[in-house]
């Protein structure tokens, strides 16, 4: 699934305009949606943040984005998965090859796996906010639900319906509406996630999903047999 890398200003506009229902609770009204001026201010702030980071200036006050990982951090091979929650190929990978890799490589201490979300659209960002809302303990279980039910929750063009679907997944994972509202209205975290994505995608040259960085070498989507070869070449068993 080839797509151009979105700059952070485009992602912010999609988030703010494309479906503000998530940030206003179960329903949104016209008054709650941000206007053009607010969107422009958010965009300018994030572009300035990116510029400051490149120039080595003081870091922004955005919250820290924690990598969601599995396995031994000291494993000989580290695999970074870049996937979008709205990408069908990512869902297929996570429902098949990924499970076999976790069983045979991650759980045996040979691979340290890092999951990083890619935000090609607003729905993918919303899903990430829900997945991360439950913390690291619930994250991987929510990710599994998101991919298993991708067609159901992401299939509508109605942002309000997608928001309701994501809230239902969050409740199934054990969160209540107050917790979900707090996570989904956290604009600082949403901005931090997009900025973290932008920096990582630029550093590793991510242009499609799913993509994998195996000991700092970029790979496109692969079969299980191809993963075996790549892991062996990277120093695994």
Structural domains in the chain plus CATH codes: 8-233 (3.40.30.10)
| pLDDT at residue 16, rounded to an integer | 40
| pLDDT at residue 21, rounded to an integer | 41
Sign of CA dihedral 145, 143, 235, 198: positive
| pLDDT at residue 48, rounded to an integer | 53
| pLDDT at residue 52, rounded to an integer | 54
- Are 130 and 179 in contact by the 8 Å Cβ rule? The answer is no
210 preceded by a cis bond (ω within 30 of 0): yes
| pLDDT at residue 58, rounded to an integer | 41
Question: For each successive 10 residues of the chain (237 residues), what is the average pLDDT?
Answer: 46 44 38 34 49 50 94 97 97 97 97 96 92 94 97 91 92 94 89 93 95 97 97 86
């Amino acid at each position: 699934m080839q797509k151009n890398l979105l700059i952070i200003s485009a992602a912010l506009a999609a988030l703010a305009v494309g479906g503000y229902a998530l940030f206003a609770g179960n329903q949104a009204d016209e008054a709650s949606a941000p206007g053009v001026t607010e969107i422009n201010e958010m965009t300018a702030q994030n572009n300035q943040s990116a510029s400051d980071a490149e120039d080595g200036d003081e870091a922004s006050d955005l919250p820290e984005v924690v990598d969601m990982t599995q396995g031994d951090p000291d494993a000989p091979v580290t695999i970074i998965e870049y996937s979008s929650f709205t990408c069908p190929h990512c869902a297929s990978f996570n429902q098949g090859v990924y499970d076999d890799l976790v069983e045979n490589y991650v759980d045996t201490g040979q691979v340290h796996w890092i999951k990083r979300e890619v935000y090609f659209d607003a729905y993918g960002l919303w899903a990430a906010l829900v997945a991360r809302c439950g913390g690291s303990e619930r994250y991987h279980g929510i990710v599994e639900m998101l991919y298993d039910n991708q067609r159901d929750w992401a299939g509508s063009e109605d942002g309000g319906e997608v928001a309701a679907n994501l809230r239902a997944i969050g409740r199934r994972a054990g969160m209540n509406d107050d917790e979900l509202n707090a996570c989904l209205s956290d604009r600082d975290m949403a901005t931090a996630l997009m900025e973290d994505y932008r920096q990582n995608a630029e550093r590793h040259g991510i242009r499609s999903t799913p993509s994998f960085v195996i000991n700092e070498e970029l790979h496109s989507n692969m079969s299980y047999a191809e993963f075996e070869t790549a892991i062996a070449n990277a120093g695994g068993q």
